[in-house]
A and B are shown apart, each in its own frame.
Chain A
Amino acid sequence: MIDIRNLSHTYPGTRKQPPRAALRNLDLSVREGHFCILSGPNGSGKSTLFRILCGMARPSGGSVEIAGHDLSRDPMAVRRLLGVVFQSPAVDKHLGVGENLAIHARLYGLRGTEAALRREEALEWSDLRNRLGDRVDTLSGGLARQLELAKCLMTRPRVLLLDEPTTGLDPSSRRNFLDVLRRVQRERSMTVLMTTHIFSEAEDADFVAILKDGVLLAEGTPQRLREQLGREVVVISPRDPAALADRLSAELGLTPLRHGDELRLDEVEPAETLALLERILTRYRPEIHSISIKQPALEDVFIHITGGNGIKANGANGGNGS
């Protein structure tokens, strides 16, 4: 459904900055009806790819086909089947909920009873039905996001692009948003490409692609990506991560990955994890706050693939596995 071939994008340089390559010879295909998650650390090229896909930037090279239409040759045909949920709001917050939906309907050529029916359909799952007359800037963050989604669903897109759509939502609103998205996506067998850096959101995706420095580092089903990592990860939370990392590699010949204040050992044979944990614990007990064995989640795959120091452990990464 979405075919990205040999896509490159280089931002023009300025007097102070040399040109910067954001995407390098990227190939990626999303099959029809799939829910695909595109992830990667900040600055990996996700947003650039997103801007190209929704036609707001023209790539340096390569091609994008959506539902058989070449994006650069026939942007209008692509726009007709595309729904886009941006990271920042794309509604007029000074107007009412219903007014925004009406404008959006007109932009997609919907009018009269057809527009009204589509509006009902798009609002069915939402909590917005009693808020049609309210101004958008009176909505809570969660409801405002629902409006963005409802607006896009109203035009029945065959392909839906979402750019970190849950940014700024509390965990329950986020869950709610994703549940609705996934349900509608299945019901309509819509093709969805969503960027995110919250890995718990990717666990039930059909396909996950991980991008770094404009290159695709890994792609596959969440299951396959987890298998790539082996079975378990030893996670250590030391008093002094740098010092312990040095000692682990010097004294035990291990190669710990540093991730925020944690050290991770993820290239361990499955049968050896418990023995390793005991060995570390007996030797370095005073240095360690906690140590655990963890079933790999996608986030661990991501940390492994992108080299650990790509992302800092910030508040955004809510859903750590157990």
Chain B
Amino acid sequence: MGVVISLAWREYTRFIRQPHRVIGSIGQPLLFWLFLGSGFTGSFRPPGMEGVTYLEFFYPGVLMMMLLFASIFSSITIIEDRDQGFLQGVLVAPVPRMAIVLGKVAGGTAIAMLQSLLFLLIAPFVGISLAPASLAMVIPILILTSVGFTSLGFLLAWGMRSTAGFHAVMMIFLMPLWMLSGALFPITHVPGWMHWIMLANPVSHALTLLRLPFHAMPGQVVGDPEFAVSLAVVLAWALGCLYLSMLRVRRVERGVPVSSSN
């Protein structure tokens, strides 16, 4: 446990000491939200969602984007750690391999939470109302989703040798996960093929979980059958990626077995 905290602390400290990163990670989603939200508000009229402005609709989607980007940055630090040598010192240390995964994921999640909390703090000033009870529900959902994202990033980045290669993964795999999560447009009015992809996308389910407290009180949310299904999917996603990451870290480069010379 000490190992996990200490590795996570390192991630967090490094982040906090780079003011550009802090400002960029808050500013970018804020601008996205402001520009896209304001731009689409005039034309966003999906049936059944009258009275919801695009700014309101997009708000949880932007929170999701923050988690995604926090995960991407955290994954890039894995590649840098390997490249700059820090990782080799951790790998030869007597620490359980799971602690290496959890340290990174906890660090990435802590950073994502700092960003989301700042974004949640400004909610009342931009016309998004969230009751304290709902807020208390949103936070654990954000944490769980962030664990899912960061451990997915971990799994993808572990074997990579260059950050340039990771950009490709980010653009053709991670970004679409977010785009097809219902963050930008509701899942209800898309072509059939896309509907299925979106249903299979764990990020859609994370977003479902996240949206519910914005529209209903926690009591109602928990009773919603959609909530139970989505929670199960997101839990499976997070735990599955954590487990696979551990297996990945445990795997050591192996020589070709000797056939005859022995």
Chain A contacts to B: CB under 8 angstroms:
6, 8-13, 19, 22, 24-25, 51, 54-61, 76, 79-80, 82, 84, 86, 88-95, 99, 102-104, 106-109, 111, 151
Contact = CB atoms under 8 A, between A and B. Distances in A.
B86 A60 contact: no
Interface string B223-255: 000000000000000000000000000001111
Nearest to A55: B92
Contacts of A54: 92
A92 B10 contact: yes
A82 B10 contact: no
B94 A76 contact: yes
Contacts of B133: none
Contacts of A92: 10, 14, 84, 86
Nearest to B254: A58
A99 B95 CA distance: 18
B255 A88 contact: no
Given A59-B255, A61-B258, A106 B17 contact: no
A95 B10 contact: yes
A106 B2 contact: yes
Contacts of B261: 8, 24-25, 61
Contacts of A151: 89
B13 A99 contact: yes
9 contacts: A24-B261, A51-B253, A56-B91, A56-B92, A58-B254, A88-B88, A90-B89, A108-B93, A109-B2
B85 interface: yes
Report which residue of B85, B91, B257 has the largest number of chain A beta carbons within 10 angstroms of its beta carbon. Answer: B85
B3 interface: yes
Report which residue of B10, B14, B257 has the largest number of chain A beta carbons within 10 angstroms of its beta carbon. Answer: B10
Contacts of B10: 92, 95, 99, 103
Contact of B257 (A51, A61, A111): A61
